[in-house]
Structure 1
């Protein structure tokens, strides 16, 4: 994306709290208008710091943060026109729901009739139209989060920032609100920057996901690409369940490489983060790409495996195996009527296609 097309842009942004250690390192990131982008990563990876710099609650140590082509580094938070949703709701307990929503409109000197119309519209959007007279303490956690979302949307911002907004909710409610937030964002055409450490949330809600670790973006891609084509071992391990086998590259030829595993087994893989014989590597294979007693054609690799655990999970069976000297190799198979239930101690053959196996960095 050309910089001039970016609605939100971080240009060589760095952040240090003590003048020595960088918690955000030379960040370059561009977002078009209307995108739903999630910053995903473990605690301390820099994702929340990036969000707070965009909101104006933290100041960049170096670099520029731009909104619609204009630097906002020196603009105070309340003048940036950005909606915010936090995990702890941040509602005023002494105000009614309507008064909570009215507050950002009053700050913007909006007339009473306009305020009332916008409040009604925002509450209807989050299916809370009948709760205007209630106080936050009279609402459930899910209802409070809907009100917090309505308050962020009530003044019709072009950009909304969300910091772990569903973290305090139970699983079923969280999943319901994931879809509602995504639908609202796309229906309204707003740009969303969403921070979470929940990979499922990131994959189901986002147009693109920026995976953070150690103050840097490790990979920025649409959810399916992130899962199917991880660019390094951190992303492969952090996104979804993953099988990792360590080895050494024996040969590289075009879009294939041969890897000798530590167990002595030799397999073919896609050379993603390796370039020459002798390179140490960690190969990555997703559990659902592995088959039992495979009939995958002449290119497929088959290895001997021992069943350690066979778990029924409803829609899938999860089998943990001893493979190539490791006890943490997992295969996921769909729950079908003809599924053979495996027993611990059974010996089986497993296999996969070379294109489903990625030779990544060893660290």
Structure 2
């Protein structure tokens, strides 16, 4: 029993705060437990505090208040090189004067491993990232994607229990980036290592993580699995930051059995799941574009919609409409047989179920 408890709390941030100037807090009272073997992503816009948290865990920044624990032991006063943590950065941070093999051997030499052990570990790590033939090359002779693979191998070569990654795919092009996302995910599954990953790219966070902590203004706004984050955002910031989202603003007229009746400024009324709202208060309604249907259906919020713009995207048509006065209301219409073809300027009907619409904070 004790082992499984400690596994759940492999990395712990306990009431951690960080200030650079003694006045303004960049991280505010952070409490976070990360399980052993978990892939946790810290996601948020620039300046939200996510990278600062990673740097405190790595030991490059010190917490102003609170404790950080690794495997049950406080690490606040342990220098970075003694924490036994693997690191991968966006700029690779490879030594340019060393070969790929020497770059990987370096963290093993620091740990006083014998030459034969080092050679075997370097070979294994290079094979793991499919770079076995590149040991004799210099970083300058490699492409960006290859350099990132080497940086990944170097972070894993000494078999750390924890690997930290700070925007590691930020410098890669879209296609390579997506490919590397799956590769890192599969490596994580195979090795069972704990990964804390920082990004501002929401699709990256949804693709790779077991859980995602969404940061804004130095606090975690929501900590959930990727599907929970997308399907069940707890506040308007998370709904807006994760995926595409249609917003309508109104006032809560009533809440009955968890369903809010919301009156809109132009007179329309919408039924929505009451998540983070109170009777008589203003609210933000959140509806995902793929949950909106063309045409009216029973037990749903049907309303007139004027087609303003159609963008062809292959598998679907992105249709921008005026719905209840919001001219940026997006509906994704599948590009499939049997689907109605719309024209710009026409008025049609759209609808969505009350449970697919969330009434959140104003």
* 1:230 to 2:202 alignment: no
User: Quick one: which of 206, 210, 217 aligns to 2:213?
Assistant: 210
Alignment CA distance shift 1:155-1:4 (3 Å): closer
The range that moved more, 333-342 or 347-356, is 333-342
Deviation string 1:42-62 (CA, Å, 9 cap, x unpaired) is: 000000000000000000000
Name the counterpart of 1:59.
62
* 1:171 to 2:177 alignment: no
Distance 2:188 2:172 in 1: 20
Shift of 1:259: 0.3
Contact persistence 1:300–1:353 (CA under 8 A): yes
Shift of 1:294: 3.2
Shift of 1:235: 0.2
Distance 2:234 2:5 in 1: 23
Distance 2:8 2:359 in 1: 35
Contact persistence 1:4–1:69 (CA under 8 A): no
Distance 1:2 1:229 in 2: 28
* 1:323 to 2:326 alignment: no
**SS state of the match for residue 114, structure 1?**
helix
Matches within 5 A, 1:273-288: 273-276=276-279, 278-288=280-290
Shift of 1:341: 2.7
Matches within 5 A, 1:254-269: 254-269=257-272
Shift of 1:317: 1.2
Shift of 1:333: 2.2
Distance 1:3 1:246 in 2: 45
> Across the two proteins, how many residue pairs are aligned to each other?
359
* 1:352 to 2:355 alignment: no
Distance 1:181 1:4 in 2: 22
Distance 1:227 1:263 in 2: 28
**SS state of the match for residue 133, structure 2?**
helix
Contact persistence 2:7–2:36 (CA under 8 A): no
**SS state of the match for residue 301, structure 1?**
coil
Name the counterpart of 1:187.
190
Distance 1:357 1:322 in 2: 17
* 1:31 to 2:66 alignment: no
Contact persistence 1:283–1:358 (CA under 8 A): yes
**SS state of the match for residue 263, structure 2?**
strand
Name the counterpart of 1:341.
341
Contact persistence 2:16–2:65 (CA under 8 A): yes
Distance 2:286 2:5 in 1: 33
Contact persistence 1:3–1:30 (CA under 8 A): no
Shift of 1:76: 0.3
Name the counterpart of 1:292.
294
Distance 2:105 2:72 in 1: 30
Q: TM-score, normalised by structure 2?
A: 0.98
**SS state of the match for residue 168, structure 1?**
coil
Contact persistence 2:161–2:193 (CA under 8 A): yes
Deviation string 1:78-116 (CA, Å, 9 cap, x unpaired) is: 000000000000000010000000000000000000000
Shift of 1:339: 2.9
Shift of 1:350: 0.2
User: Quick one: which of 158, 162, 180 aligns to 1:159?
Assistant: 162
- Deviation beyond 3 Å, 4+ runs, structure 1: 1-5
The range that moved more, 38-47 or 260-269, is 260-269
